[in-house]
């Protein structure tokens, strides 16, 4: 029995050691996250790693990524006042190629745990950098010619700023540069966009006005319908408490050609109409046709 227990203990120890040792190939990284709350347990650089918290494999998940990669970023910075058009035709078009590697000394696990987050973050840094650096060329006066002439200096300043930001989050930029010429719309296209944006704003204002009028009309109709339903409920309650009202309404609704009505004299008017009686007249009935 003791031998069996020892064997079981050794087996469990071997299994625990097996599930807590991870191999990461050269040029890759691994991220271990908790399946309970998606918390990053560990970031693993290339090599063999022992992770005690992974002794229960069903409570952790391991994902791999490339420790060194490159990507081409297709950026567009809208011309001033034309952001709402959301069109590359009215934007400065920039293509940037960048290569980077993970700095395992400073990188955060959350940045690597989400697939594509590194690329998204670098792209956000680049667009923000170009938007800020090109602002003096775009407004208050659009100077496309000057921007074209100084685009190289603008991009150099942007790249330096992006490299510093990336280094702060654990991404070491290896190379970064423009791909092809920068597409800068000429002043004629800018004026065309300004005119189009003005027309679209006018149409939007007209549509908004029509929508407000329609909403106001619907609210009024809804109020009328509610009042009508309330009146019907009051009438129904009145009829329920006073059934003879139906007889009165029935008589009132007769055609104008009806000049007389037979009804029991004992019941009186206007609520004496007996709809349930059949057969000949009873004693005491009045014949109004006489």
Residue with the two structure tokens 């006042």:
81
Checking if the pLDDT of 273 tops 70, the result is no
DSSP-derived secondary structure for 155-204: HHHHHHHHHHHHHHTTEEEEEEEE-S--B---HHHHHHHHHHHHHHHHHH
Please state the rounded mean pLDDT for residues 181-207: 86
pTM for the whole structure: 0.61
- Residue 106, domain CATH: 3.30.479.30
**SS3 for 139?**
coil
**Average pLDDT in the chain:** 78
Confidence band for 175, pLDDT divided at 50, 70 and 90: very high
Checking if the pLDDT of 194 tops 90, the result is no
Checking if the pLDDT of 7 tops 70, the result is no
Lowest mean pLDDT among 121-130, 206-215, 258-267: 258-267
In a domain, 117, yes or no: yes
Report pLDDT digits (tens) over 232-251: 787 777 767 776 666 666 66
In a domain, 190, yes or no: no
> How many domains, in total, are found in the chain?
4
Confidence at residue 245, expressed as pLDDT on a 0 to 100 scale:
64
Please state the rounded mean pLDDT for residues 15-31: 69
Confidence at residue 110, expressed as pLDDT on a 0 to 100 scale:
84
Confidence band for 13, pLDDT divided at 50, 70 and 90: very low
Confidence band for 223, pLDDT divided at 50, 70 and 90: confident
DSSP-derived secondary structure for 75-134: EEEEPTT-GGG--GGGEEEEEEEEEEEE-TTT--HHHHHSTTHHHHHHHHHHHHHHHHHH
Confidence band for 8, pLDDT divided at 50, 70 and 90: very low
Same structural domain, 91 and 171: yes
Checking if the pLDDT of 127 tops 90, the result is yes
Higher pLDDT, 272 or 115: 115
Confidence at residue 263, expressed as pLDDT on a 0 to 100 scale:
54
Asked if residues 58 and 66 have their Cβ atoms less than 8 Å apart, the reply is no
Last residue of a domain, one of 20, 49, 65: 65
* 290 burial via Cβ count (<10 Å: 0-12, 13-18, 19+): exposed
Q: By residue range, what is the domain housing residue 47?
A: 2-65
Confidence at residue 161, expressed as pLDDT on a 0 to 100 scale:
96
Confidence band for 159, pLDDT divided at 50, 70 and 90: very high
Query: Of the candidates 60, 58, 25, which has an alpha carbon nearest to the alpha carbon of residue 42?
Result: 60
Confidence at residue 15, expressed as pLDDT on a 0 to 100 scale:
41
Higher pLDDT, 94 or 63: 94
Same structural domain, 230 and 125: no
In a domain, 259, yes or no: yes
In a domain, 219, yes or no: yes
Same structural domain, 87 and 122: yes
């Amino acid at each position: 029995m003791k031998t069996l227990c020892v064997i079981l203990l050794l087996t469990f120890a071997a299994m625990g050691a097996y599930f807590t040792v991870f191999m990461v190939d050269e040029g890759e990284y691994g991220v271990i996250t908790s399946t309970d709350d998606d918390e990053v347990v560990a970031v693993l650089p290339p090599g063999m790693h022992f992770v005690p918290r992974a002794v229960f494999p069903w409570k952790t998940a391991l994902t791999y990524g490339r420790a060194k990669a490159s990507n081409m970023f297709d950026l567009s910075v809208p011309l001033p006042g034309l952001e709402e058009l959301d069109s590359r035709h009215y934007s400065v078009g920039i293509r940037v190629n960048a290569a980077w590697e993970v700095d395992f000394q400073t990188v955060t696990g959350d940045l690597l745990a989400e697939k594509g987050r590194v690329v998204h973050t670098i792209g956000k840094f680049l667009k923000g950098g170009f938007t800020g650096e090109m602002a003096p060329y775009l407004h208050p006066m659009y100077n496309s010619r000057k921007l074209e002439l100084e685009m190289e200096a603008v991009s150099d300043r942007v790249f330096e700023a992006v490299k510093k930001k990336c280094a702060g989050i654990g991404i070491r930029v290896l190379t970064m540069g423009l791909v092809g010429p920068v597409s800068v719309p000429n002043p004629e296209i800018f004026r065309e966009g300004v005119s189009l944006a003005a027309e679209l704003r006018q149409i939007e204002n007209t549509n908004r006005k029509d929508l407000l009028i329609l909403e106001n009309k619907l609210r009024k109709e809804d109020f009328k319908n509610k009042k009508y339903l309330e009146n019907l409920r009051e009438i129904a309650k009145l009829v329920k408490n006073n059934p003879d009202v139906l007889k009165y309404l029935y008589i009132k609704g007769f055609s104008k050609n009806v000049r007389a009505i037979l009804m029991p004299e004992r019941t009186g008017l206007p609520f004496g109409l007996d709809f349930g009686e059949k057969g000949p007249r009873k004693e005491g009935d009045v014949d109004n046709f006489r």
